[in-house]
Amino acid sequence: MSSMKTVTTRGRVRVEQGRKRIRAYLGGELVVDSVRPMLVWEKPYYPTYYFPAGDVRAELTPDGEIAHSPSRGDGHVLTVAAGGEQAPGAALRLDDSPFDDLVGTIRLDWNAMDAWFEEDEEVFTHPRDPYTRVDILPSSRHVRIEVAGVTVAESSRPTLLFETGLIKRVYLPKTHVRMDLLEPTTTVSHCPYKGDAEYWSVRLGDELYPDLAWSYRTPLPESQKLIGLVAFYDEKVDLYVDGALQPRPTSRFA
């Protein structure tokens, strides 16, 4: 029988004991190795890791700055040194917090580290949310996508992606997309559940609609069903499903 999780909240911040072994590296050296991470939802989309000070192996030196958070408390900003490299301001030690479990813990800046691992799998972009689920399902609905009245994609073999907290996404085979109307861009986005996405703009005559579509060339193992498929921002195109125009959703990506 599994034990109950201890979860505490204050305002929008939520704190929960993690269960995975977490490691981070800088300059090829281990910065932290912990089986006791705290998951802290500083923002609603994904958590941040906080670690017991004893699990941090790198040299930490104070920057002389105090960071204040009404919800998480006051902490000293620290420089992280490991492997001959220094990451100024890359650590925060909470000396005072309304969350008892966070007092004395250290938060590491995700982007300041060279690599992060959950157990023995490297993780990118940000920590994975244990409450996020990604379902990728084949469908036989007829889908048509228009941009400014021009059909840019049409298929009766869409793949639907359902991700916790986000709107449904429709992915289509490239052979069902007017790739002659798409121009590759230099934009790249990163997802810890799906991988790195490459983007296309849609060009219709002299009009360019930037970064309207994307695809995962080499998705992560749990999202392999997305290989070779293209999705469009439903917020920016006209999407018809079984002949019915769908209302444009609102999201932070609009």
Q: Does residue 206 lie in a domain region?
A: yes
CATH number of the domain to which 159 belongs: 2.170.150.40
Helix (H/G/I), strand (E/B), else coil: 102: helix
Q: Are residues 80 and 57 in the same domain?
A: yes
Q: How far is CA 129 from CA 46, 155, 195, in A?
A: 5, 32, 15
Mean pLDDT of 240-250: 94
Number of domains in the chain: 2
Phi and psi of 10, rounded to 5°?
Answer: -150, 115
User: Is the domain of 68 the same as that of 170?
Assistant: no
pTM for this entry: 0.78
Assigned domain for 28 exists: yes
Residues 29 and 49 grouped into a single domain: yes
Domain's final residue, options 123, 143, 174: 123
Write b or e for each residue in 105-133: b if 16 or more Cβ atoms lie within 10 A of its Cβ, otherwise e.
bbbbebebbeebebeeeebebbbbbeeee
pLDDT at 72: 85
Quick check: is 104 in a domain?
Answer: yes
Mean pLDDT of 126-132: 91
CA distances in angstroms from 44 to 18, 99, 222, listed in the order given: 17, 18, 23
d(CA 103, CA 75): 9
Q: Are residues 116 and 174 in the same domain?
A: no
pLDDT at 10 over 70: no
Handedness of CA 199, 203, 209, 213 (dihedral sign): negative
Report the number of secondary-structure helices (H) and strands (E) in the chain. 0, 23
Instruction: Place 174 in a pLDDT band, splitting at 50, 70 and 90.
Output: very high
Does the residue 252 lie in any domain? no
Please check the confidence at residue 132 and state whether its pLDDT lies above 70: yes
- Whether 119 and 146 map to the same domain: the answer is no
On whether the CB atoms of residues 62 and 78 are closer than 8 A, the answer is: yes
Task: Record the tokens describing residue 212, joined without a space.
Answer: 């309207």
Q: Identify the domain boundary among 65, 88, 123.
A: 123
Q: Which domain holds residue 15?
A: 7-123
The mean predicted confidence, pLDDT, of the chain is 92
Q: Which of 62-66, 115-119, 120-124 has the highest mean pLDDT?
A: 115-119
| Same domain, yes or no: 101 and 181 | no
Residue after which a domain boundary falls, among 65, 89, 123: 123
Q: Is residue 100 part of a domain?
A: yes
Question: Does residue 163 lie within any of the structural domains?
Answer: yes
Task: Kindly state whether residues 83 and 12 are assigned to the same domain.
Answer: yes
The beta-carbon contacts of 145-150 under 8 Å, at least 24 apart in sequence, are: 145/170, 145/172, 145/232, 145/237, 145/238, 145/239, 145/240, 146/237, 146/238, 146/240, 147/202, 147/204, 147/209, 147/212, 147/237, 147/238, 148/204, 148/207, 148/209, 150/181, 150/204
- Asked if residue 2 belongs to a domain, the reply is no
Same domain, 41 and 109: yes
65-79, 113-127, 167-181, 231-245: range with lowest mean pLDDT = 65-79
Pairing of strands 13-17, 59-69: unpaired
